[in-house]
Amino acid sequence: MSNYFGNYSLCIALILSIYLIFKSYFDANSENKNLDKNYILITSIQTLMILISFVSLVTAFIISDFSNVTVFNNSHTLKPLFYKIAGTWGNHEGSLLLWINILVLFSSLFLFINKNNDKDFKILTLLFQNILIIIFLIFLLSNSNPFSKLFPIPLEGLGLNPILQDPALAIHPPLLYVGFVGSSIYFSAALAALISKIDSKSLAISIKPWVLISWFFQTVGILVGSIWAYYELGWGGYWFWDPVENSSLMPWFVMTALLHSILVLERKIGLYSWVIILSILTFTMSVTGTFLVRSGILNSVHTFASDPSRGLFILSFLILMVFFSIYVFFKFAPFENKKYSIFSKETFIIANNWFMIFFLGVVLIGTLYPVFLDTITGSKISVGPPYYNLILAPFLIPLLFLMTSGPNYKWISNETKSFFNFVLVLSVILFLITFFIVKESSFLLNLILFFSIYLITQTLFDFYESFKKRNINISRIISHLGFGLLIFFIYINHIFSLENNFNLKLGEVKKTNNYVIKFNNLEEQSIKNYKSVIGHFNISNKKTLRSQELKPEIRLYDKPVIITYEASIDSNLFSDTYLTMSNISETNVFNIKFQIKPFMNFIWFSVLLLSLGGILNFFKRNKNETN
C-alpha cells in the first residue's frame, strides 16, 4: 500500500514541478509586479506530496513491508524500531529521497519566508530550484526508485549493515544533507540574482539565513560523523582525511568563506560577484561530494553499493549545472572595481576567504589527485594525513592571527593599531606556562599553540570589552572562541595521546607506561540481532592509583553476517581511556589496542561552540527583522 502512495505522490510532485517551471518562466517575463498567489498553493501541494512519499517509505520500514525492495534489502523484523526508521536513509534510494525532501522543503520555505519583494528574483529562484527538483526526481524514479516492488513477498529482510546501527550515524546523514542540499537554495538564488539584477544588499539579506542554517547543519553533521568514527570504527582517531570525510569538509570551507563575505556584501562595499561565485561553488562542491561518494570511484567506509549508472547520472547533472552557471555568470555578472583600505575589516574578511579557498584547494587536490592519477597513468596512490598536516598546518598560523586581529578593525577605515598590548603579553605568558608543561620541541607546533592561545585570549577579552559597551557580537565571539579552542585541544590531544598494541590471553597482565592492564574475564551474550563476546579488563594507573573497568566487545551480527569490534571507552572530563579487542581465530589470544586520549570531550565541545555561533547569528537576525 505504502508503495503506491509513495510512487504516486512522487509522480504528482514531478508534474507540479514541471508546471512550476513553465509558469515561472512565463511570469518572469511578464509586466505584473506582484507574485501570483498560486505559487504558494502549488508549492505547498508539492511539499505535501514529497512529504507523503517520505512518510510512506518510513512506514514501510517501520512495519517491515518486505514487498518493498529497499526495505527488504536494508531492514529486518528483529531490528530495534529506532534503527528501522534510521534504515530509511541508510541506503542509496532512501537517502536520495531524503535529499529531494530537503530540496523541496527549502525551496518552499524560501518562497514563504523570504522578505525580499523582487518578484523576478523570487520566481527565478523558484524556477532554478524546480529544475534541480525535476532532475533529481527523474533520477530517483528511473534509476533508484525506493518504492520498487518485490513479488513473492519474502518473510524476512536482509538487515542493515550493523556498523550503521548507531545513534550518531542515524542522525549524521540527515544533518549533512540539510547542509549539502540547503546550499542549493543560494545556488538558485545567486543565478536568479544575476539575471534579475537585484542589488547587493537584498542579495545578502535573502541568502544569509540559508547560508547560516546550512553552515550550522554542515558543522554539526561533520561533528556527529567524527564522533561516530571515534567510537565505532575502533581506531581511536576522529579525523582520517578519508576522501568521503573530505567531501563534507569541502563545501564547509566554501560556506565559511561565504558566511564571511556576506558581511561585506550587506554593507554594500563590494564582493557581489565573489558572493555569487561562492554560492555556486558551495552547491557544486556538495554535488561533487555526492558524486564521489555515490559513484563508488572512492573506496571508503561510506561506499554505498555502487552502480556506474548512478555515477554517470550525477556526473551529467554536475556538468550541466557547472556549464550553465558559468554561462549565466559570464553573461550577467556586473563589472566591479573596488579598492579596499589595507587595515579595514573587509581586507581581513577577504583574507579569510583566500585561506578558505586555499584549504579547499588542498583538500580537493588531495582527494581527486589519486583518482586522476589512476585514470591517466594507472598507478595507484593514496594521499593521507601526512600530506594534509604538512600543507595545512603552517597556514593555520596566519589564519589564527587574522581571526584574532581582524574583528577589531573597523569597516571602510584605514586605522592602524599597535600590536603590542595587554592581551598579547597575557597570551605570551599563558603560552610559556603551557610550553613548560608540554615541552614540545617542534617550532611549528609551538607557533600554532601560541596563536591559538592568542586567539582565545583576545576573543575572551573582546567579549569583556563589548560586554562593558553593551554591544556584543556574540555569534562571532562564540564561533571564533570555538575555533581557537578546537585548535588548542587538537594540539594538546595530539601531544598527550598514548597508544599501545599487544596480545593478551585470559588472565594475563600487561604493563605499559604507567598503566597495568589485566584481562579478568570473558563473557558471552546473545542479544536481539547479534551475539557478543565481552572482555572484562581492569586498568589501573600506577601514578594516580585510579582503576577502571573496561569491557570491549566483539559482536557477531547475523543479519547480515558481519563481525564488528566495539570499543570500550571510559570517558571522563579530561581524558578518555580507549580499549578495543579483536580475536585471533583458532587461538585463545586476543589482540588489544589500548589508548589514552586526553581532552576528547573538549574537542567535541569546541566544535559545538563553533556551530552555536552560526545559529545564534541566525536567531539574532530574525529578532532584528521582527523588531
Partner 1 sequence: MKQINYIIVSILFSAIFVILYLSLGNEKIYDTEDLVGKKIPEVEINLFETSGVLNTKEFTNNEFTILNFWASWCAPCRKEHPNLVRLSKITNLKMVGINFKDDKSNAKNFLQENGNPFDILAKDKLGKKSVNFGIYGIPETILIDSELKILKKYIGPLNIKDINEIRKIVKK
Q: Which part of the chain contacts partner 1 (CB under 8 A), choosing from 389-397, 445-453, 490-498, 577-585?
A: 577-585
The arrangement of strands across the sheet holding 498-505 comes to: 498-505, 589-598, 575-583, 568-571
Omega of the bond leading into 251 within 30 degrees of 0 (cis): no
Query: CB of 377: closest distance to partner 1 in angstroms?
Result: 12
Q: CA 479, CA 618: separation in Å to the nearest integer?
A: 13
Nearest residue (CB) to partner 1, 349 versus 592: 592
| C-alpha cell at position 221 | 553533521
Query: Angle at the Cα of 431 (from 572 to 394), degrees rounded to 5?
Result: 95
Residues sharing a CB contact under 8 Å with residue 204, sequence separation 6 or more, in sequence order: 262, 265, 266, 275
**CB of 535 vs partner 1, minimal distance in Å:** 14
> 398 vs 178, 448, 607, 609, CA distance in Å?
31, 9, 20, 22
- Lay out the site mask for partner 1 across 488-507 (x = CB under 8 A, - = otherwise): -------------xxx----
In 3-state terms the chain splits into helix, strand, coil percentages (rounded to 5) of 65, 10, 25
Return the residue of 144, 295, 479, 577 that touches partner 1, per CB under 8 A.
295
Instruction: Give yes or no for residue 354 binding partner 1 (CB under 8 A).
Output: no
Binding to partner 1, residues 519-538 (CB under 8 A): none
Nearest to 244 by CA among 292, 306, 173: 292
What is the rounded CA–CA span in Å between residue 42 and residue 39? 5
What CA–CA distances, in Å, run from 390 to 160, 387, 445?
A: 38, 5, 11
Q: Which stretch binds partner 1 (CB under 8 A): 291-299, 395-403, 431-439, 464-472?
A: 291-299
Distance of alpha carbon 385 from alpha carbon 405, whole angstroms: 30
Is there binding between residue 386 and partner 1 (CB under 8 A)? no
Q: Is 509 in the site for partner 1 (CB under 8 A)?
A: no
Q: Which CB, 148 or 582, lies closer to partner 1?
A: 582
Stretch that binds partner 1, among 75-83, 212-220, 240-248, 322-330 (CB under 8 A): 322-330
Q: Cα(392)–Cα(388) distance, rounded to whole angstroms? A: 6
Q: Binding residue for partner 1 (CB under 8 A) from 153, 319, 437, 509?
A: 319
Which CB, 341 or 500, lies closer to partner 1? 500
Distances (CA, A) of 12 to 121, 223, 375: 26, 37, 41
Q: Is 323 in the site for partner 1 (CB under 8 A)?
A: yes
CB of 315 to partner 1, least distance (A): 6
- Give whichever of 110 and 291 is closer to partner 1, judged by the CB atom: 291
Answer yes or no whether residue 308 interacts with partner 1 by CB under 8 A.
yes
Question: Which one, 310 or 597, has the nearer CB to partner 1?
Answer: 310
Burial of 583 (0-12, 13-18, 19+ CB in 10 A): middle
With binding defined as CB under 8 A, does residue 301 bind partner 1?
A: no
Question: What does the block give as the cell for 224?
Answer: 556527529
**Interface with partner 1 includes 155 (CB under 8 A)?**
no
User: Which of positions 357-376 make contact with partner 1 (CB under 8 A)?
Assistant: 371-372, 374-376
Binding status of residue 315 toward partner 1 by CB under 8 A: yes
Please give the size of the binding site for partner 1, defined by CB under 8 A.
33
Q: How far is the CB of 505 from partner 1 (least distance, A)?
A: 11
Binding-site member from 143, 273, 405, 582 for partner 1 (CB under 8 A): 582
Work out which of 380, 439, 468, 469 binds partner 1, going by CB under 8 A.
380
Shortest spacing between CB 538 and partner 1, in angstroms: 22
Residue spans of alpha helices (H) in 158-269: 167-196, 200-232, 243-265
Q: How far is the CB of 502 from partner 1 (least distance, A)?
A: 7
φ, ψ dihedrals at 241, nearest 5°: 55, 35
Given the rule CB under 8 A, which of 53-61, 288-296, 400-408, 428-436 is the region that contacts partner 1?
288-296
Residues facing residue 580 across a β-bridge: 593
CB of 278 to partner 1, least distance (A): 15
Residue 420 binding partner 1, by CB under 8 A: no
Which CB sits closer to partner 1, 135 or 318?
318
Q: Which of 278, 250, 231, 240 is nearest to 180 (CA)?
A: 250
Hey, what's the torsion of the CAs at 474, 477, 480, 482, to 10 degrees? -70
Interacting residues with partner 1 (CB under 8 A): 291, 295-297, 299, 306, 308, 311-312, 315, 318-319, 322-323, 326, 330, 371-372, 374-376, 380, 501-503, 582-587, 589, 591
